[in-house]
């Protein structure tokens, strides 16, 4: 086992994800302590141009037609080859669909333990300790990693806004990293095939660009009540967004979803109304300037990350706030 | 009178009538049992009051109600007239024995007969006026929910009324002509002022011509009667035959109980799901209901769903059932079948096709619109039971998994956590925290009264304040009461009315278990829905303790002096909203009013009060369903009604759901009065001992 | 098509969680359990698939307290078979040991498709669908929001949900393991009466679990996060809260004093 910290580069449609840069930053600080290199694993086809912007000590570039799009089976096979050949201490993957799809089968095939939902990795007296979110974000678990491991990491945005952890620099490296070519394994017998990529309807509003978001969760209790949020959004000059349950119920279109499988948003003001604050939702918040939570459940995890909160009923607060705002001019 | 001709007409008419009637009877006989052969004395009493006494018609809209009563009573008498006339086919001088001239009952009969003919004629003319000139909306269809009814021809009503007038006229002419033709001057003329008048008018014709005119009148009368007979079972006037039996067999006490589903255990009989899915599943009482509907629309006129613009109109629902039974195409308009999602039906195969292959009797959206407030049943003059039928139709939907989506989530929360809010059971007693004393745990120490708090009163913030006030009042009076803390679960009233019988039974079992583990003598609750099921339905599962509403309890404390109220609120003008499940279902209307009056407040009644109260729209599970389709919520309509009363300070409620619904509605409408729970008034009026 | 759905009960997060004495687990005595919400989605997707292809669904769970409830509910919803694996080792909190036992049993079942929820609240050491796929050597696709059987019956087309609402369509050869994020339709309602009927009818097959040891992950400790900047809770009724919020927004320059956005 070397002291290397590998990071899987996640990229889609020619763009590297923000989470990858966060992971590389983590990898660099960990590698310094483990005495190894921070290595970016870039799998793809015609992916060479993506390597230049990666802030790593080295980039392992593996190219194959079968890796042109994200095909889980291909990625697992490719990564297994890399792990076999290089035996790094850690492989970091983002807690995204890619991570969830790839990490577990890879853990089995490579015989390495997997730690999921990790939000912090630190060296304590030469022991690597991972801290992960469990039970819907209500608790944290600490695990000691003595041998090699695969770790899926959640986005750091909220941890920063909470005041924990240092902001991880999202920096494109001034100098291009050393590129090492890795040969792909035999990817001819794959049983999974990529068919197509579908972009969502952006609709009239791009919530990722909004400065103010009034976001509603299950607590809004019905499509007819979205109006309350819309009134407030209008008064604030923002837009309405929602968590997954609201989109699943059809009360808001998909384009308004904030969360792991929705949009990542970075507004100045995020008003979370009737949202419990499950990790999958929080992953969509890349550190708003001001997070205000309205939820009648005093134990809701959202209050752990909010700047201001109230347990008053959103059905009372939203209209009252609209009134107060109109009166603010008086 | 041409005897053979008439005999032929008579026999033919009778055969045709019997044939049609037999078809109707077959539908009745093939239907499922309804278990109504009990409590015969109570039924007879109700038949006398509602049927013969026309009580609901006399109470309802006027003068339409009294007009119908006149026609009804008139015809009771005129039945004898018809028999008499038919008898004269054989013998021109025939009278019913005992009712002839010179016989003790003769003169009264002649007088009554004439009065009846006069009254019926006046009433019929008035009713024709309503149909042909005034176009009274209720008679032609209210709101979009009754579109199918509205677009049908409404000739039948006017036709029948015209026929009634012909029968009256025919009878008068027949009798009048006979008086002249047979030169009768005795009792048959002196006690029959109207007939005598007709006779006078005809006397100028001479005896022979008068006899011919009389015969024409007779033929008109009798043929029209025969025609009337034919039309009876084919029209809404079937109610003439079926209404009295329908009233007799209508559900007796307890009014608030919905019959349990015959849940076959271990599994429903193959091909038969619980509730009503197709016309074949209807009970004979439900079939009789469909037969008896007079299309009067009193039900739709008082229905909160109809008023709010929902797809439900009780009249339309009953008529759809009727048309389905009769196999009429009008029952299967697009909107009836369109609502069963095709995808869903492919996926969940229908176990039994309905009558004529139409699997859907009534659209889902119509059924989910009902608040189960029973205003329709209260208004119906012929004893139709809309609410239990809707519940049974809902049972079928629930069994097939077709539940309104928000309601589905609520049912799942009730099943998992025992309350509609999905909160942990341990949170149930949290409302008691800020009280200065601890309410005894009835599971741990014996108490006199068990307070069944209910979901809304435990978890809704506004209702929690009322609960605390009530607790304080009772504590100060020194009553021994306790609660079940986290051992209580949703009582199940609305769960049953949504059609989830299995969950209802689960809740009953759990609550009875909790009761068994506690010691108390009686139960009271501030929640009329819980009251209704605990009082009327739990006994069937073994509950023996008496159940009261808190207003009844406070009234009895007031009566025995334990509670004293000063008239501190003198000068305060209030109106009181009777909760449906308290005022209408369980007839508790006096207790709250006694309490209000004891506080000194001046009570101004809304037009719809007492048993005629107008629903807030939360019952039947509606509180947890999607409201977005409504034009205006029932609660807002009710606040508007209160606003018509002029200067009112408070809108007083005694139900936690009402408190929530009306507080919101009053805010939405910017009402000048405050929505208050009754305990707030009482609190102000309590005097120190 | 023969479809297996792996079900797991997890802690109902409606209740407050307490830590055990040694701090390495939660206090389990009074927790309420419920079917993992993603497993519920997986079951619904499986039932839809079975209805479309004329296949059948077998549900499987490990023998844990009251697990019969979720198995009977699945049977009431239309699953053809329900199996409970008995005779289990003690600590089965995390996924590793569970996957080992389940994979051993599933391997011999001749299933075309194994569906389970994409994650649970207690899968710290890896999501079970991926672990099963790895052990069974089968293709795996996670975060799936729709599974469609292809005509030959040899492949399925799946819709995989990525960030930003992007959806990838993949064709997967059977047999395969799918981690379901959500079903095409909300999970169907099954009335209590049908669940009770299923309970009366019995029908859960009890099978001895294969004795396969799995590596259990070592959790050093569990703790409740105490972030350095916990939310400042605003006091008062809704109106007071609203006033304060409006003031804060103005202070921060998010709303100008004249109304509207700064």
In a domain, B37, yes or no: no
* Residues in B touching A221 (Cβ below 8 Å): 406
Interface A:C, Cβ pairs < 8 A: 290
Is some CB atom of chain A closer than 8 A to the CB atom of B461? yes
Question: Domains in chain A and their CATH numbers?
Answer: 5-182 (3.40.50.620), 207-328 (3.40.50.1220)
**Which stretches of C44-192 are assigned E, i.e. beta strand?**
56-62, 81-86, 113-117, 140-149, 155-161, 167-173, 176-180
Residue C16 CB coordination number (10 Å): 12
CB contact under 8 A, A70 and C237: no
Q: Domains of chain C: which residue ranges? A: 2-208, 225-262
In a domain, B254, yes or no: no
Is some CB atom of chain A closer than 8 A to the CB atom of B669? no
The tens digit of pLDDT for each residue in A201-236 reads: 777 888 988 999 999 998 888 888 899 999 999 999
At which of B559, B587, B617 does a domain end? B559
At which of B533, B559, B585 does a domain end? B559
Band of residue A175 on the pLDDT scale cut at 50, 70, 90? low
The tens digit of pLDDT for each residue in A264-299 reads: 898 999 999 999 888 888 888 877 889 999 998 888
CB contact under 8 A, B628 and A224: yes
Same domain? B146 vs B91? yes
The interaxial angle of helices B550-559 and B590-598, nearest 10 deg, is 50
Question: Nearest chain C Cα to A208, which residue?
Answer: C164
| Nearest CA distance, C229 vs chain B (angstrom) | 27
| CATH superfamily for domain C2-208 | HUPs (3.40.50.620)
Same domain? B378 vs B432? no
Segment B268-271 long-range contacts (CB within 8 Å, at least 24 positions apart):
B268/B399, B268/C193, B268/C197, B270/B351, B271/B351, B271/B352
Same domain? B219 vs B116? yes
Tokens of B201: 């008018």
CB contact under 8 A, B347 and C48: yes
ipTM beyond 0.95?
no
**Which of C143, C231, C243 is facing A100, going by the closest CB pair?**
C143
Q: How far apart are CA C236 and CA C219, in angstroms?
A: 42
Same domain? B638 vs B681? yes
Q: pLDDT at position C231, please?
A: 84
* Better pLDDT: A163 or A5: A5
Q: Look at residue C262 and tell me whether its pLDDT is greater than 60.
A: no
Q: Which of these, A312, C148, A314, C189, lies nearest to B412 by C-alpha position? A: C189
- Bridge-based pairing of strands C81-86 and C9-11 is unpaired
User: Average pLDDT for consecutive 10-residue bins of chain B (689 residues)?
Assistant: 81 93 92 86 92 91 92 94 91 87 89 94 96 92 89 90 95 92 88 92 88 92 94 92 94 80 50 76 93 95 96 95 81 37 32 37 91 95 94 92 92 95 92 95 97 96 94 95 96 96 96 96 97 96 96 96 92 96 96 96 96 96 90 96 95 96 92 96 80
CB contact under 8 A, B405 and A249: yes
CB contact under 8 A, B502 and C32: no
Domain residues for the domain of B368 are 279-402
Question: Nearest chain B Cα to A249, which residue?
Answer: B405
Same domain? B494 vs B642? no
Minimum mean pLDDT range among A66-70, A171-175, B189-193, B244-248: A171-175
CB contact under 8 A, C193 and B263: yes
Q: Which residue, among A224, A252, A299, A320, would best test binding to B if mutated, counting the most B CBs under 10 Å from its CB?
A: A224
* Residues in B touching A223 (Cβ below 8 Å): 626, 628
Q: How far apart are CA B47 and CA B55, in angstroms?
A: 10
* Residues in C touching B411 (Cβ below 8 Å): 189
The B residues from 213 to 272 touching A (CB cutoff 8 Å) are none
CB contact under 8 A, A222 and B628: yes
Q: pLDDT at position B337, please?
A: 34
Q: pLDDT at position A136, please?
A: 86
**Which of C32, C51, C201 is facing B347, going by the closest CB pair?**
C51
Minimum mean pLDDT range among A110-124, A249-263, B105-119, B514-528: A249-263
Same domain? B437 vs B380? no
Q: Which of these, B506, B505, B547, lies nearest to B530 by C-alpha position? A: B547
Is some CB atom of chain A closer than 8 A to the CB atom of B200? no
The interaxial angle of helices B678-685 and B461-477, nearest 10 deg, is 40
* Residues in B touching C48 (Cβ below 8 Å): 347
Q: pLDDT at position B340, please?
A: 32
CB contact under 8 A, A261 and C181: yes
Subunits in contact with chain A (3 or more CB pairs closer than 8 Å): B, C
Same domain? B544 vs B583? no
Torsion angles phi and psi, residue B386, rounded to 5? -70, -45
Tokens of B189: 């003329």
3-state SS assignment for residue B595: helix
How many domains does chain B fold into? 4
Same domain? B68 vs B188? yes
Is some CB atom of chain A closer than 8 A to the CB atom of C202? no
Q: pLDDT at position B344, please?
A: 35
CATH number of B607's domain: 3.40.50
In a domain, B172, yes or no: yes
Q: pLDDT at position B541, please?
A: 95
H helix intervals, A115-251: 157-162, 226-236, 244-248
Helix (H) or strand (E) holding A31, with range, is: helix A18-34
Q: How far apart are CA B80 and CA B96, in angstroms?
A: 8
Same domain? B298 vs B230? no
CATH number of B313's domain: 1.10.1060
Q: How far apart are CA C175 and CA A26, in angstroms?
A: 38
Question: Nearest chain B Cα to A246, which residue?
Answer: B406
CATH number of B156's domain: 1.20.950
The interaxial angle of helices A72-86 and A97-110, nearest 10 deg, is 50
**Which of B405, B461, B627 is facing A224, going by the closest CB pair?**
B627
At which of B402, B428, B449 does a domain end? B402
Mean predicted lDDT score pLDDT of chain A: 88
Task: Compute the C-alpha angle B644/B647/B651, nearest 5°.
Answer: 75
* Residues in B touching A222 (Cβ below 8 Å): 406, 626-628
Q: Environment class of residue A275 by beta-carbon count within 10 Å: exposed (0-12), middle (13-18) or buried (19+)?
A: buried
| Nearest CA distance, C72 vs chain B (angstrom) | 14
Tokens of A143: 């695990």
Same domain? B605 vs B549? no
Q: pLDDT at position C138, please?
A: 96
Task: Specify whether the CB–CB gap between A44 and A63 falls below 8 A.
Answer: yes
Same domain? B110 vs B169? yes
Percent of chain C with pLDDT over 90: 67
Is the peptide bond preceding residue C175 cis, with omega within 30 degrees of 0?
yes
Q: Which of these, B509, B390, B395, B513, lies nearest to B443 by C-alpha position? A: B513
Task: Specify whether the CB–CB gap between C71 and C84 falls below 8 A.
Answer: yes
Q: Look at residue C144 and tell me whether its pLDDT is greater than 90.
A: yes
Q: Look at residue A30 and tell me whether its pLDDT is greater than 80.
A: yes
User: Under the phi-then-psi rule, with left for phi > 0, alpha for psi from -120 to 50, and beta for the rest, what region is B295?
Assistant: left
């Amino acid at each position: 086992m070397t002291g290397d910290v590998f990071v899987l580069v996640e990229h889609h449609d020619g763009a590297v994800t923000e989470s990858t840069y966060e992971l590389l930053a983590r990898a660099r600080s960990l590698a310094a302590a483990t005495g190894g290199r921070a290595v970016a694993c870039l799998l793809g086809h015609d992916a060479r141009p993506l390597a230049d912007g990666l802030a790593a000590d080295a980039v392992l570039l593996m190219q194959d037609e079968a890796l042109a799009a994200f095909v889980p089976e291909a990625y697992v096979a490719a990564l297994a080859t890399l792990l076999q050949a290089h035996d790094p201490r850690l492989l970091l993957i983002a807690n995204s669909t890619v991570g969830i799809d790839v990490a577990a089968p890879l853990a089995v095939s490579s015989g390495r333990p997997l730690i999921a939902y990790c939000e912090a990795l630190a060296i304590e007296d030469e022991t690597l300790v991972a801290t992960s979110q469990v039970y819907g974000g209500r608790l944290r678990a600490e695990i000691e990693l003595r041998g090699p491991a695969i770790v899926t990491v959640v986005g750091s945005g909220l941890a920063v806004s909470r005041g924990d952890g240092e902001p991880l620099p999202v920096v494109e490296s001034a100098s291009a990293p050393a590129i090492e070519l890795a040969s792909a394994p035999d990817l001819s017998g794959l049983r999974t095939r990529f068919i197509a990529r579908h972009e969502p309807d952006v609709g009239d509003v791009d919530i990722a660009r909004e400065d103010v978001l009034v976001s509603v969760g299950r607590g809004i209790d019905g499509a007819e009540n979205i109006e309350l949020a819309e009134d407030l959004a209008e008064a604030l000059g923002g837009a309405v967004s929602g968590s997954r349950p609201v989109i699943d119920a059809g009360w808001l279109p998909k384009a308004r979803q904030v969360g792991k499988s929705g949009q990542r948003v970075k507004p100045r003001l995020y008003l979370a109304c009737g949202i419990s604050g499950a990790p999958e939702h929080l992953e969509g918040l890349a550190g708003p300037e001001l997070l205000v939570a309205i939820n009648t459940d005093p134990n809701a995890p959202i209050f752990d990350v909010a700047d201001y909160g109230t347990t008053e009923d959103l059905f009372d607060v939203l209209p009252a706030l609209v009134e107060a705002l109109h009166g603010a001019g008086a | 009178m041409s005897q053979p001709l008439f005999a032929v007409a008579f026999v033919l008419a009778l055969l045709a009538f019997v044939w049609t009637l037999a078809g109707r009877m077959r539908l009745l006989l093939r239907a499922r049992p309804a278990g109504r052969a009990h409590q015969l004395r109570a039924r007879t009493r109700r038949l006398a009051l509602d049927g013969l006494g026309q009580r609901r018609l006399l109470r309802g809209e006027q003068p339409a109600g009294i007009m119908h009563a006149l026609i009804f009573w008139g015809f009771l008498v005129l039945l004898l007239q018809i028999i008499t006339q038919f008898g004269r086919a054989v013998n021109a001088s025939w009278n019913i024995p005992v009712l002839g001239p010179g016989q003790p009952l003769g003169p009264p009969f002649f007088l009554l007969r004439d009065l009846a003919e006069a009254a019926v004629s006046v009433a019929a003319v008035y009713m024709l006026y309503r149909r042909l000139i005034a176009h009274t909306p209720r008679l032609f269809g209210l709101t979009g929910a009754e579109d199918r009814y509205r677009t049908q021809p409404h000739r039948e009503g006017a036709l029948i009324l015209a026929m009634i007038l012909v029968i009256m006229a025919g009878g008068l002419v027949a009798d009048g002509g006979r008086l002249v033709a047979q030169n009768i001057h005795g009792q048959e003329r002196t006690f029959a002022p109207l007939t005598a008048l007709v006779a006078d008018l005809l006397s100028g014709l001479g005896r022979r011509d008068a006899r011919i005119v009389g015969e024409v009148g007779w033929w008109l009368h009798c043929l029209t009667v025969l025609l009337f007979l034919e039309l009876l079972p084919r029209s809404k006037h079937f109610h003439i035959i079926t209404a009295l039996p329908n009233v007799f067999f209508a559900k007796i006490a307890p009014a608030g109980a919905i019959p349990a589903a015959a849940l076959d255990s271990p599994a429903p009989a193959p091909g038969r799901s619980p509730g009503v899915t197709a016309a074949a599943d209807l009970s004979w009482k439900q079939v009789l209901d469909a037969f008896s509907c007079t299309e009067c629309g009193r039900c739709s006129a008082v229905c909160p769903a109809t008023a709010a613009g929902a797809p439900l109109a009780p009249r339309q629902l009953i008529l759809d059932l009727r048309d389905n039974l009769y196999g009429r195409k009008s029952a299967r308009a697009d909107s009836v079948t369109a609502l069963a999602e095709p995808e869903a039906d492919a996926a969940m195969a229908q176990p039994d096709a309905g009558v004529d292959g139409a699997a859907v009797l009534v659209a889902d959206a119509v059924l989910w619109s009902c608040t189960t407030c029973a205003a329709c049943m209260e208004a119906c003059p012929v004893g139709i039971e809309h609410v239990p039928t809707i519940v049974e139709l809902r049972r079928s939907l629930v069994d097939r998994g077709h539940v309104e989506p928000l309601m589905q989530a609520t049912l799942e929360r009730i099943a998992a956590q025992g309350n509609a809010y999905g909160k942990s059971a341990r949170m149930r007693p949290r409302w008691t925290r800020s009280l200065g004393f601890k309410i005894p745990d009835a599971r741990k120490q014996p108490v006199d009264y068990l307070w069944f708090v209910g979901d809304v009163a435990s978890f809704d913030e506004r209702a929690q304040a009322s609960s605390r006030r009530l607790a304080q009042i009772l504590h100060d009076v020194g009553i021994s009461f306790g609660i079940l803390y986290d051992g209580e679960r949703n009582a199940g009233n609305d769960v049953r009315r949504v059609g989830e019988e299995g969950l209802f039974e689960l809740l009953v079992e759990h609550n009875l278990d909790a009761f068994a583990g506690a010691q108390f003598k009686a139960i009271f609750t501030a929640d009329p829905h819980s009251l209704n099921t605990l009082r009327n339905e739990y006994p069937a599962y073994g509950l023996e303790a008496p159940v009261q509403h808190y207003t009844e309890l406070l009234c009895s404390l007031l009566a025995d002096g334990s509670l004293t109220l000063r008239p501190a609120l003198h000068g305060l003008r209030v109106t009181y909203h009777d909760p449906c499940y308290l005022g209408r279902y369980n007839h508790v209307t006096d207790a709250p009013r006694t309490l209000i009056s004891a506080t000194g407040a001046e009570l101004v009644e809304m037009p719809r009060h007492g048993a005629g109260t107008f629903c807030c729209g939360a019952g039947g599970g509606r509180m947890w369903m999607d409201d977005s389709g409504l034009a205006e919520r029932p609660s807002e309509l009710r606040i508007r009604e209160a606003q018509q009363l002029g200067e009112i300070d408070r809108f007083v409620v005694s139900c936690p759901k009402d408190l929530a619904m009306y507080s919101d509605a009053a805010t939405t409408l910017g009402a000048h009065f405050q929505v208050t729970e009754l305990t707030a008034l009482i609190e102000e009026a309590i005097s120190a001992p | 098509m023969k479809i297996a759905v792996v079900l797991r009960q997890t802690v109902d997060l409606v209740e407050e969680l307490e830590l055990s004495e040694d701090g390495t687990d939660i206090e389990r005595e009074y927790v309420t359990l419920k079917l993992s919400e993603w497993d519920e989605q997986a079951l619904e997707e499986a039932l839809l698939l079975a209805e479309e292809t004329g296949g059948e669904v077998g549900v499987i769970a490990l023998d844990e307290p009251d697990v019969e409830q979720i198995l009977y509910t699945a049977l009431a919803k239309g699953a053809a078979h329900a199996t409970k694996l008995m005779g289990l080792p003690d600590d089965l909190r995390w996924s590793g040991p569970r996957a080992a036992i389940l994979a051993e049993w599933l391997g011999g079942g001749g299933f075309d498709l194994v569906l389970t929820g994409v994650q649970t609240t207690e899968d710290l050491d890896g999501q079970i669908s991926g672990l099963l796929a790895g052990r069974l050597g089968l293709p795996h696709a996670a975060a799936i929001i729709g599974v469609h059987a292809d005509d030959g019956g040899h492949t399925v087309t799946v819709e995989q949900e990525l960030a930003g609402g992007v959806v990838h369509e993949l064709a997967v050869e059977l047999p395969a393991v799918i981690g379901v994020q959500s079903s095409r339709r909300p999970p169907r309602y099954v009335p209590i009466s049908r669940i009770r009927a299923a309970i009366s009818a019995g029908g859960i097959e009890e099978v001895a679990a294969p004795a396969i040891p799995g590596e259990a992950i070592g959790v050093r400790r569990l703790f409740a996060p105490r972030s350095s900047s916990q939310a400042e809770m605003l006091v008062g009724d809704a109106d007071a809260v609203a006033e304060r919020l409006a003031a804060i927004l103005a202070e921060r320059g998010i709303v100008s004093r004249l109304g509207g956005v700064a």
